[in-house]
Amino acid sequence: MDDQNAAVKEVLNNNDAAAVAEIQKYLEKQKNIPLNIAITGESGAGKSTFVNAFRGIKVGEEGAALTGVVETTSEVTPYPHPNYPKLTLWDLPGIGTTKFPADKYLKLVGFEMFDFFIIISADRFRENDVKLAKEIQRMKKKFYFVRSKIDNDIQADRRKRDFSEERTLTKIREYCVQGLWKEGFEDPQVFLVSSFELYLYDFSLLHETLERDLPAHKRDALLFAMPNISLKIINKKKEAFQSKIKYYAALSAVGAAVPVPGLSAAVDLSLIVKVVTDYAAGFELDKSSLERLAHKAGLRYTDLSAVIKSELASVQITKELIMKVLISLAGPVTSMAAEEVSRWIPVIGTITAMGLSFVTTYKVLNYFLNELADDSVMVFEKALALMPSP
């Protein structure tokens, strides 16, 4: 409640237009922070498959990166995230090709634009990978070694009589780390990843490492675009969304201070539609994301969506839909009505209306956030139970 009171007080102590401009500027800036991730490595390492997996897009789907057994990327190609277009994965041509020789590679691909590099290999990190990493290191940017196609190695070793998944993973990791150590990298970290099953192996660890290394203002940009591969990521998304509710509630309060009948309710509904649409996208509860997940888990879409309780998942969110849900929640609607009455009481009425609007919007957004976060957990657990095991 302290945060709510502080935000309302800040709005009350400022000129309405200035308060609105400041809050909107902050929220717009948060939503439009660019993040450019370079995916590189030798030809055939699985770069394009990784790009598709990170963005939750199936091979062959519109917007998917081309994949194949030979080098399919001949140009530096941007792939914006479907729900968060300010986050772009750049599929870079394989280093060491005729068109992109190792000694000119960074200049040719436009080194300066990238926030960090992910260097992918399907077996061991070779000479060109090492040269690239050292050059990136020299230019004081971050890079991460990812050993791809781990699922293939597990399947190959599974035929052995004494098969142990843990032993296979340890062997692969040590082989890669020792090779990099011999090339002069101190304590190199290698992330073992299957692009087809991101919830397995080291992808969650890779995300945690990226999150830790990124500047604070870019962490949410990465988080919201991350696929829901663990309950931890879902909970982090919920916390990040929660931290912004007070700003949206403050915007609502400013709208309540304008003495025009019905204006505040209109502002609140438009605002709530926008924010709840972001929640659905972040929790991957939009219809396209649910369809992809159902296909991956071998489920019918209707079977997966059956676990969802909220009316706001897998549909287009409109003012009419929001109002329909709100009508079923007597408290928020009563508060809205009280706000409309109180706004006509001189001075005290305006302050009361602002406070009511703030609290109502705050509570409504919290309710929708909790509901959609719970649904995201249910969907994740339903799909995970049917996903292939390692």
> What are the sequence ranges of the domains in the chain?
2-31+228-386, 35-225
Pairing outcome for strands 77-80 and 87-91: antiparallel
- pLDDT at residue 267 in the model: 55
Q: Enter the CATH code of domain 35-225.
A: 3.40.50.300
- pLDDT at residue 203 in the model: 93
φ, ψ for residue 92, nearest 5 deg = -95, 145
- pLDDT at residue 388 in the model: 58
User: First CA to last CA across the chain, in angstroms?
Assistant: 46
Instruction: Count the neighbouring beta carbons within 10 Å of the beta carbon of residue 26.
Output: 12
Length of the chain: 390
Q: Which residues of 198-214 are buried (b: 16+ CB within 10 A; e: fewer)?
A: bbbbbbbebbeebbeeb
Average pLDDT along the chain, 390 residues, taken 10 residues at a time: 49 59 81 92 86 85 73 77 92 77 80 92 89 87 94 87 89 93 90 90 94 92 91 95 89 62 61 92 90 86 90 88 79 56 53 69 89 95 74
Q: What is the CA radius of gyration of the chain?
A: 25
What would the DSSP string read from start to end of 224-270? HHS---SHHHHHHHHHHHHHHHHHHHHHHHHHHTS-STTHHHHHHHH
Closest CA to 128 of 166, 87, 71, 202: 71
Q: Residue 380 in contact with residue 291, Cβ under 8 Å?
A: no
pTM over 0.95: no
- pLDDT at residue 350 in the model: 58
